[in-house]
Amino acid sequence: MSLFDIFTKKAGRDYSSEPGVNNPKRVMPYGDILGDGALQMSFTLPVAPSPEAKEGAKRYIEKLGLKDVLIAHMEGIGNNLSYFVVYGHAKHAFDITKVKVPKADYEKMNLDEVVEFARKNIKRKITIVGATTGTDAHTVGLDAIMNMKGYMGDFGLERYDCFKTINLRSQVSHEELLARAVRLNADVILVSKVVSQRDKHIEELKVLGAALAKEKGLKKSLIKIVGGPRLNHAQALKVGFDAGFGHGTLPSEVASFIVQEYARRNVS
């Protein structure tokens, strides 16, 4: 029995129906006490720092429905701009059992398991072409997945001897990506998108997804993957890709999806 259980039994109080206490149907933010609804947030207002700006920020957060609002920090960050850090308490809870999130269909495996799966089920190297496309010059995410060093101690796709990887790097045009994929007879296209101001990443992926669908030289079984800090699986499906991976994805997760999806499409 936990100390929490002992305390609640001694108090003679039934917490089981209260928010955040072993109750997945009433989940609330947690600060000092389970279910207290405590939130921390930060934002910028187009006003210079002043007592009036601080009070205005407090009143604005109260209009959003938060109680016991505390402006913990106010700082000027330029002409008529103020940055705020605020604490408050929300009253709303949600039912986590009703939250469903579309996810790529695969079983997580480590490097050795992926290689063994490929050896038993595929018996050939899978060709993967990766790039950041359009105006995007960022390669951090792409390299984290493809580079041999990998990410967070998880080796990248170059380390897997069941893959042949070609990293085209940054600002690759859609035409060049498609041409290289056709020339290399690619099994997988892996696109990384970081630039996301005004949904630029979504616009460019829509164009690329349409081009991939029309390109006759690509394999019909081509696996199309996109990743980025502001992308998820549902968005990837909407723009014509087969899977989307967001922030914190490990290379082994992408590798697991690739070999399992390849086997589903190509191994009878």
Longest dimension (CA), the chain: 72
216 is known as an active-site residue: no
Pairing of β 81-89 and β 243-245: unpaired
Report how many helices (DSSP H) and strands (DSSP E) the chain contains, helices first: 8, 8
CA dihedral 145, 151, 155, 156 (to 10 degrees): 10
Edge-first strand listing for the sheet containing 243-245: 163-167, 126-132, 188-192, 223-227, 243-245
In the three-class reduction of DSSP (H, G, I as helix; E, B as strand; rest coil), residue 78 is classed as strand
What H or E segment, with its residue span, contains residue 192? strand 188-192
- State how far the Cα of 132 lies from the Cα of 183, in Å rounded to an integer: 18
Strand, coil or helix: 165: strand
SS3 for 17-66 is: CCCCCCCCCCECCCCCCCCCCEEEEEEEECCCCCHHHHHHHHHHHHHCCC
Which of these is catalytic: 123, 149, 219, 238?
149
| Catalytic residue annotation | 149
